[in-house]
Structure 1
Amino acid sequence: MRFAPAAAALSLVFATVASVSSAGELEADPRAQVLIAQGEAALESGDTQGAIDAFEAALAVDPDYTPILLSLAEAARQDGLQGKAIRYYREALARNPDYFAALSGEGEALVEKGAVDKAQRNLARLESMCGQSCPETQALQARIAAGPPARFAVETAEDGSAAN
């Protein structure tokens, strides 16, 4: 009984520290934030390699900040590297399986790669988790409706396996 007040005080300290440390994961390290801003500016100006470099540097500074992976995936997609983008999306999903933006982005990259059936699975999962009105669901639905880029339609038509 002599230790009850001390134990209560100590548990309060641990609870406070735990809540502060978990809240800190929601924001990137300030140095990473600068690099992310540089990457976004480079991406907007069309410099995908500059954006990738900035995002990779940000990831090195703050490897636990998952949204950087989505930025890297977007830059890879714009650079025509859908396979690399899918890898980044899957890494984000490994950290948080319910990350709607990563699930939608992966689905869009799959469509761009020509894997519409796999993208449909992502869409079904998104619909079950966040519904039809979810922005991520709507974005993936629109991308699937647009279909894969023309280069995949031509390649499959030349093989004699085009499906329309």
Structure 2
Amino acid sequence: MRFLPVAAAASLGLLTLSSGSYGQKPDNQINPTSTLFEKRGEAAFAAGNLAAANDALEAAVVADPKNRAAFVSLGKVAQAQAMPGKALHYYKDALLLEPNDLTALSAQGDALVQRGAVDRAKDNLTRIQTLCKGPCPAATTLAAAIAKGPPPLVQTAQAGDKVPPKGQESAAPAKN
């Protein structure tokens, strides 16, 4: 008698869980709308239209958050916009979906080099080489980025320059 309510609740829970999985698609099947937006985004990126590429790729991710290729492409757009931190975020999202994605690992390593984290990029290279077990394009691309090194820092002020107080940036002394 005591187990009847517990058994009824457990069977009702099991029935609910099993019926919810009938209408779901498999994890490896990407929504066709997402794929369409991804292709539009990649075409815009190839044409050099970074804003349109970003918009289309974000729409692809919204249409299907499991679209790993869209995350990788978003990362590449962010890198082209000189935003390696944002790119790393997108690559991390792609690697959460598939930790052994060679393209995402290589692109993440390139973004790490762009940020100056060469040692972490070398860790990615080691992981790629372990996964490839032979020569592969992802390892070659990342090794070239590591060899090239991070971009030089742009220096806007000289060592002895004084920073003007806030609000007086445009007030330059008149030269006689």
Distance in 1 of aligned mates of 2:29 and 2:106: 22
| Identity score, percent | 38
Supply the RMSD in Å over aligned alpha carbons. Answer: 2.4
Query: Which ranges of structure 2 fall in alignment gaps of 5 or more residues?
Result: 1-20, 160-176
Spell out the pairing of 1:74-113 with structure 2 (5 A cutoff): 74-113=76-115
Q: Which amino acid aligns with 1:116?
A: V
Q: TM-score, normalised by structure 1?
A: 0.74
Paired position in structure 2 for 1:143: 145
CA distances 1:72-91 after superposition (whole Å, capped 9, x unpaired) = 11111111110011011111
Distance in 2 of aligned mates of 1:121 and 1:143: 13
Q: Secondary structure at the match of 1:150?
A: coil
Is the CA contact 2:75–2:86 (under 8 Å) kept in the aligned structure 1? Answer: yes
* Superposition deviation, residue 46 in structure 1: 1.2
Is the CA contact 2:66–2:97 (under 8 Å) kept in the aligned structure 1? Answer: no
Larger Cα Rg: Structure 1 or Structure 2?
2
Distance in 2 of aligned mates of 1:37 and 1:67: 10
CA distances 1:48-93 after superposition (whole Å, capped 9, x unpaired) = 1211110001111111121111011111111111001101111111
Paired position in structure 2 for 1:72: 74
Distance in 1 of aligned mates of 2:99 and 2:39: 26
Q: Secondary structure at the match of 2:30?
A: coil
CA distances 1:20-50 after superposition (whole Å, capped 9, x unpaired) = 943xx44532212221121112111211121
Paired position in structure 1 for 2:35: 33
Size of the aligned set, in residue pairs, is 137
Q: TM-score, normalised by structure 2?
A: 0.70
Q: Which amino acid aligns with 1:139?
A: T
Moved over 6 A (4+): none
More helix by share: 1
Is the CA contact 1:39–1:52 (under 8 Å) kept in the aligned structure 2? Answer: yes
Distance in 1 of aligned mates of 2:134 and 2:117: 22
Distance in 2 of aligned mates of 1:79 and 1:149: 14
Distance in 2 of aligned mates of 1:67 and 1:145: 26
